[in-house]
Amino acid sequence: MISERELAKEIVLLDIVESVKGKTLDIECSSPTMQFSCNLEGCCEYEKIENSDIVIITAGFPRKPGMSREDLLEKNKKVIEGVCDNIKKYAPDSILIVVTNPLDVMAYLTLKRTGFPRERVIGMAGVLDSARLRNFIAKELDVNPKNVQGLVLGSHGDSMVPLPEYTTVSGIPITMLMENEKIERIIERTRNCGAEIVNYLKTGSAYYSPASSILEMVEAIVKDSKSVLPASVYLNGEYGYNDIFLGVPIKLGRKGVEKIIEIKLNEKAKELLDKSAEMTRKNIDKLK
């Protein structure tokens, strides 16, 4: 997707298994028909990421049916520590987009392990969760998904916090277009969408929607578009939280997180966000 949009002149796909070279060659051979031009390289050596501007971290074990994102905590901790040490060595000036689960905790670990400024470590969660919410609303109302704007805050997991009051169809609040019962049903499916996909796939987790969400973030950075979108970022007093990663609205540009946007939350939403933060805090404590 990044190559098709021609957002980079050079793209490196790095993995611990050699099959990444086959995947890269396969993508490369689509360049004439998809009409893109960039240098793609698949490799197993960290030296190849030297001086990268953006590093997307998807390394780690995926969920299996019946597993929560938190079940991956110990396994993926070791993976991310090794990844971070190599990023710090070869791409010390890069902006990091963390996708590995449990996302908010792995983003926290990435920040602490690399020592990068908080503006340059961003967790990809809110864009994906919001996209899922918007998709289900569009299906329910039989409208173009492009006309639906939605906002999901909190941790990337069962405690995520969709905000109906900030979710609209061409500016019309969904609370004016749907009964509360339908809204709650859509919110519940949004929370469980990742698990629903895992249960169907059996041996992996979501691919395409996370990829498109990563793409949106990369494009905002590369084009310095100052896009306002939800992402998991390090909070230091914002929303009343400290020393934690949590999904909130941000302004994203060439330098990474340019601003954390604090919006007014009603009592119920703040209560849910507090619970979400508490769950993430517990997992961070386990990490420590």
Which active-site residues does the annotation give? 156
- DSSP state letter for 102: S
Numbers of helices and strands, H then E, in the chain: 8, 13
The rounded Cα 140 to chain-centroid distance in angstroms is 25
The rounded distance, in Å, linking the Cα atoms of 150 and 159 is: 17
Q: Which residues pair with 96 in a beta bridge?
A: 55, 121
| Cβ atoms 159, 279 nearer than 8 A | yes
Tokens read off for 53: 């501007």
Name the pairing type of β-strands 39-43 and 10-14. parallel
Q: Where are the beta strands (DSSP E) in the chain?
A: 10-14, 39-43, 54-57, 95-98, 121-123, 148-149, 152-153, 161-162, 168-169, 172-173, 227-236, 242-253, 256-260
d(CA 25, CA 5): 18
Within a 10 A sphere around the Cβ of 63, how many other Cβ atoms? 21
